[in-house]
């Protein structure tokens, strides 16, 4: 077990280093710029986003006792999409405090949608399945709103919206890293602190309640913290599918499902997975970069089917 954890961590580190080094040979001042101002920040953003999405996915799967729950089950992505579309339809070039209006609106939209669900979840009488339904309802409602906005947008805004919705990691400089790092770190650290009550949740919500877990409070803090991290990631990079769904299942297959291992390892493997997918996206079509969201979805869907086909351990 310990050996497996060590191997997995080593593998993650190798992948992360490789992601910086792989590519056209770089020398001179231009090479320095590409490595330090483009590749390194891009890998760092990939790590932050991948780690956050995977950890939140693992936490939500535990919280909802549902293997299909992901980081956007509570409407985070749908809310972000509405925010982003609204900003693009209004004026995509405007900035707020130096930040693109799209990012600000997507963040606000994501937080609004997920806090709506979280506030419902903190009610004493709500069961996890009710919260899941509330999440689906909010997702559907916001998707409808998004379609409405798309209908009245002009074609330039529509194209920008499509671009945004594919999910990308390219960075110039470290601004994104500085913006995301604090939010992701707070979200992930505090979520990891919930490992113990989440473990009690595994045998059922009511049993956890009888064992002393304050269920409404646990739900509210897990949903609130998770949405905070995911909202930041989605606002900066656009929606990136499947990482939050696949990575926890992958870790569970390899290392077993004890949350004391699953949660921190989802963090590591999530970071390495997204960065590797992005590397792949960078190299697949020479001279053109695919959005990483397409790669994660294209690889994630068959990976999920393969996992399910192999059956439960």
Query: Which spans of this chain sit near another protein (rule: CB under 8 A)?
Result: 65, 124-125, 196-197, 199-200, 202-204, 206-214, 256-258, 260, 312-313
Residue 188: CB minimum distance to another protein, A: 20
Q: How far is the CB of 55 from another protein (least distance, A)?
A: 17
Q: Which is nearer to another protein, 79 or 197 (CB)?
A: 197
CB of 200 to another protein, least distance (A): 4
Quote the least distance from Cβ 187 to another protein, whole Å: 23
d(CA 298, CA 289) in angstroms, rounded, equals 15
d(CA 64, CA 135): 11
In the bound state with another protein, the residue whose beta carbon lies nearer, of 2 and 313, is 313
Q: Which is nearer to another protein, 171 or 199 (CB)?
A: 199
Q: Containing H/E element for 1?
A: none
| Closer residue to another protein, CB minimum distance, 124 or 288 | 124
Cβ-based nearer residue to another protein, 310 or 312 = 312
φ, ψ at 26 (rounded to 5°):
-120, 120
Q: Least distance from C-beta 124 to another protein, angstroms? A: 7
Kindly tell me the sign of the dihedral angle through the C-alpha atoms of 290, 70, 275, 231: positive
> Nearer to another protein by C-beta: 13 or 202?
202
Q: What is the radius of gyration, based on Cα positions, of the chain?
A: 19
> How many CA atoms within 13 Å lie on the side-chain side of 313?
10
**What is the phi/psi pair of residue 257, to 5°?**
-100, 10
Closest distance to another protein from the beta carbon of 76 (Å) = 24
Q: 57 Cβ partners below 8 Å, 6+ apart?
A: 69, 70, 71, 243, 244, 245, 247, 248, 266, 270
Q: Is 25 exposed, middle or buried (0-12, 13-18, 19+ CB in 10 A)?
A: exposed
């Amino acid at each position: 077990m310990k050996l497996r954890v060590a191997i997995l961590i080593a593998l993650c580190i190798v992948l992360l280093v490789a992601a910086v080094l792989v590519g056209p040979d770089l020398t001179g001042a231009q090479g320095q710029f590409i490595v330090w101002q483009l590749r390194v920040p891009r890998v760092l953003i990939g790590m932050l986003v991948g780690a956050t999405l995977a950890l939140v996915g693992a936490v939500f799967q535990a919280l909802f006792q549902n293997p299909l729950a992901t980081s956007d089950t509570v409407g985070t992505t749908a809310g972000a999409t509405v925010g982003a579309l609204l900003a693009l339809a209004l004026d995509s070039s405007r900035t707020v405090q130096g930040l693109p209006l799209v990012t600000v609106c997507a963040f606000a939209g994501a937080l609004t949608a997920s806090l709506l669900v979280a506030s419902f979840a903190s009610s004493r009488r709500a069961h996890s399945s009710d919260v899941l339904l509330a999440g689906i309802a909010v997702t559907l409602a916001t998707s409808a709103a998004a379609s409405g906005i798309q209908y009245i947008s002009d074609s330039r805004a529509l194209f920008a919206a499509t671009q945004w919705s594919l999910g990308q990691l390219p960075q110039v400089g470290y601004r994104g890293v500085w913006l995301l790092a604090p939010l992701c770190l707070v979200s992930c650290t505090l979520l990891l602190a919930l490992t113990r009550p989440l473990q009690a949740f595994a045998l059922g919500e009511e049993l956890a309640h009888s064992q002393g877990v304050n269920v409404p409070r646990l739900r509210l803090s897990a949903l609130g913290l998770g949405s905070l991290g995911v909202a930041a990631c989605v606002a900066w990079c656009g929606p990136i599918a499947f990482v939050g769904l696949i990575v926890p299942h992958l870790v569970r297959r390899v290392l077993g499902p004890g949350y004391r291992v699953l949660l921190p390892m989802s963090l590591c493997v999530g970071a390495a997975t997204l960065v590797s997918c992005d590397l792949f996206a960078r190299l697949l079509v020479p001279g053109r970069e695919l959005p990483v969201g397409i790669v994660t979805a294209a690889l994630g869907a068959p990976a999920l089917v393969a996992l399910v086909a192999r059956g439960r351990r």
